[in-house]
Amino acid sequence: MSESLVLTKIAAIGEPTANNFSTWTWGLTSALRAAKVWDPIFAKDSSGRVPQCPEESINAAGYREYQQLALKACGHIVDAAGYTNSSITDPYDQRRDPVGMLNAITAKYAEKTSSTRFASLSNQLKAERNMNEDWVEYITRLRELQKTTQRLRPDHYTVEDLDSEVLLFTLVHSLDASSPFVTSLLANPHTSFDTVADAITRTYHVNKDAVPGKGSAPISSANAATIIEEANAAYNSIMCFWCEKPGHPMAKCTEAQAAKKLWLASKGTGSSSGRGGNRGQRGGRGSRGGNRRSVATHSNDEASAAVEFAGNASTTLSPSEAPPNDWTVDSGASSSMTPRREWVHSIVPDRRGVKLADGSIIWSEGRGVVTFKPLINGKALKP
In terms of domains, do 79 and 114 share one?
Answer: yes
Closest CA to 148 of 32, 47, 24: 24
In terms of domains, do 146 and 68 share one?
Answer: yes
**Gap between the Cα atoms of 319 and 307, Å rounded:** 10
In terms of domains, do 77 and 142 share one?
Answer: yes
For residue 247, is it within any domain? no
For residue 355, is it within any domain? yes
DSSP per-residue letters across 78-116: HHHH-GGGHHHHHHHHHTT-HHHHHHHHHHHH--SSHHH
Domain end marker among 155, 183, 202: 155
* 284 contacts 350 by C-beta, under 8 angstroms: no
For residue 245, is it within any domain? no
**Run of H or E residues at 350:** none
**Gap between the Cα atoms of 114 and 93, Å rounded:** 31
* 125 contacts 148 by C-beta, under 8 angstroms: no
For residue 116, is it within any domain? yes
For residue 246, is it within any domain? no
For residue 248, is it within any domain? no
In terms of domains, do 163 and 312 share one?
Answer: no
- Which domain does 205 fall in, by range? 158-237
In terms of domains, do 52 and 32 share one?
Answer: yes
In terms of domains, do 18 and 150 share one?
Answer: yes
Please give the tally of structural domains in the chain.
3
pLDDT on residue 236:
56
In terms of domains, do 185 and 297 share one?
Answer: no
In terms of domains, do 16 and 67 share one?
Answer: yes
**Run of H or E residues at 266:** helix 254-268
> What is the pTM assigned to this prediction?
0.39
In terms of domains, do 8 and 131 share one?
Answer: yes
**Gap between the Cα atoms of 47 and 45, Å rounded:** 5
Closest CA to 138 of 149, 128, 146: 128
pLDDT tens-place values along the chain, 383 residues long: 567 888 888 888 889 887 688 788 888 998 999 999 999 999 988 888 899 999 989 999 999 999 999 999 999 999 999 998 999 999 999 999 999 999 999 888 877 777 777 777 777 888 888 888 889 988 988 887 888 788 778 777 888 888 888 888 888 777 776 666 666 666 665 667 777 777 777 766 666 665 655 544 444 444 445 545 555 555 555 667 677 777 666 777 788 888 788 777 776 655 444 444 444 434 443 433 444 333 333 333 333 333 333 333 333 333 444 454 555 555 556 677 777 777 777 677 777 777 777 767 777 777 777 776 777 777 776 65
In terms of domains, do 259 and 354 share one?
Answer: yes
Domain end marker among 127, 155, 183: 155
Domain end marker among 109, 135, 155: 155
**Gap between the Cα atoms of 122 and 145, Å rounded:** 10
In terms of domains, do 147 and 44 share one?
Answer: yes
pLDDT on residue 28:
92
For residue 205, is it within any domain? yes
For residue 242, is it within any domain? no
In terms of domains, do 268 and 213 share one?
Answer: no
The alpha-carbon radius of gyration of the chain (Å, integer) is 30
Residues in the chain: 383
pLDDT on residue 37:
93
pLDDT on residue 321:
45
